[in-house]
Amino acid sequence: MNRYQQAQSLMEQGRFIKIVCGAGNEDPIAVRRLSLVYTLAGTSAFDVSANPAIVKSAVDGIDAAFRIAPALNINIEARPFINVSVGLKGDPHARKAQINGEKCIQCDQCREHCDQDAIDKHYSIITPRCIGCGICADNCPSEAITFYHKRVDLSTVLPECIKEGAEMLELHAVTDDDVSVFEDWKIIDMLIPNNYISVCLDRSLLSDTHLTNRIRKLYEITGERLIVQADGAPMSGGNDDYNTTLQAIAIADIVYKSGIPVKILASGGTNAKTQELARLCGVFVNGVSIGTFARKIVKSFINSENFEHDMGNIKQAITIARKLVADSIPK
């Protein structure tokens, strides 16, 4: 089986589990550690930032997992894929926060709510850690937090990411500007001719009709290699309950019912209940992309200073991660 067929087989069984390190997450240590833990937990893929150094961190984490697997008596069935994400202007996955010191009253609300620990004690953004989720701004009483778009030059950066080990690419296309979507999509389609490429879409700016029309046009370009990452409520999966994952299944249902033969990954509010809710609702998804929740449940272990030298710590992280992966596989 080649790599495309491996991915296809996992998706046809609904077993493609992608751990989202964060399109904006450029913290090499966190990405390496997440990749190590979730490779040992049996995940299928990692989603990382469009940064060759970060792709390398994910590769290093995966390689380290293969090295220590025998000592842990773990058989890793398949090497996870690395997917690189890029975002169009306006997409929250491709932005970074900034704090206006003149407006800030130092109330600490942003720091308390930032899951990425991306705001330092002087109320400056630690840019590599910021994933643009917007939770800080939602909790700021002074409107002191704004965002800027982090655009990468696809034609130069993505080939470098592929050289480092990326096998799939993803375009986050939360915009109503179809022209820019198709311009970027053609570059991505050309760069990965023999594997899946995905478009991440939510309903914040698109009607259901616009959403399915866009998917249909992308399918005309890419055919069966097209994955739609159906993003219910972007970066909102902090809790492990049905309501948190409801919108991920709702948008997956729209794509599913469109009848366009794309692969569908549920995302945006995903957690350990996502696959179960899909089944209860009669919605078939080819897999689940899990970000906020997947990072949150292993955060305390990943943040350990002694992480890679403390096998007990790694084992505990793997046990928790494995349960999430197991819960994300259709029963």
In whole angstroms, the minimum distance from the beta carbon of 24 to ligand SF4 comes to: 8
Contacts of 131 (CB under 8 A, 6+ apart): 22, 23, 24, 25, 93, 116, 118, 235
In whole angstroms, the minimum distance from the beta carbon of 136 to ligand SF4 comes to: 3
In whole angstroms, the minimum distance from the beta carbon of 121 to ligand SF4 comes to: 10
Note whether 20 binds ligand SF4 by CB under 6 A. Answer: no
Note whether 131 binds ligand SF4 by CB under 6 A. Answer: yes
**Under rule CB under 6 A, how many of the chain's residues touch ligand SF4?**
27
Distance, CA of 79 to CA of 43 (rounded, Å):
9
In whole angstroms, the minimum distance from the beta carbon of 236 to ligand SF4 comes to: 12
Number of C-beta neighbours around residue 319 at 10 A: 12
Q: Which stretch binds ligand SF4 (CB under 6 A): 57-65, 137-145, 161-169, 189-197?
A: 137-145
Contacts of 122 (CB under 8 A, 6+ apart): none
**19 vs 99, which CB is nearer to ligand SF4?**
99
- Written as one letter, the residue type at 186 is K
- Among the listed residues 218, 177, 213, 217, the one whose alpha carbon sits nearest the alpha carbon of residue 199: 218
Give DSSP secondary structure letters for 292-308.
HHHHHHHHHHHT-TTGG
**114 vs 314, which CB is nearer to ligand SF4?**
114
Q: Which stretch binds ligand SF4 (CB under 6 A): 1-9, 105-113, 169-177, 273-281?
A: 105-113
Judge contact between 199 and 218, C-beta under 8 A: yes
Contacts with ligand SF4, residue ranges (CB under 6 A): 97, 99, 104-110, 114, 116, 118-119, 123, 125, 130-136, 139-140, 142, 144-145
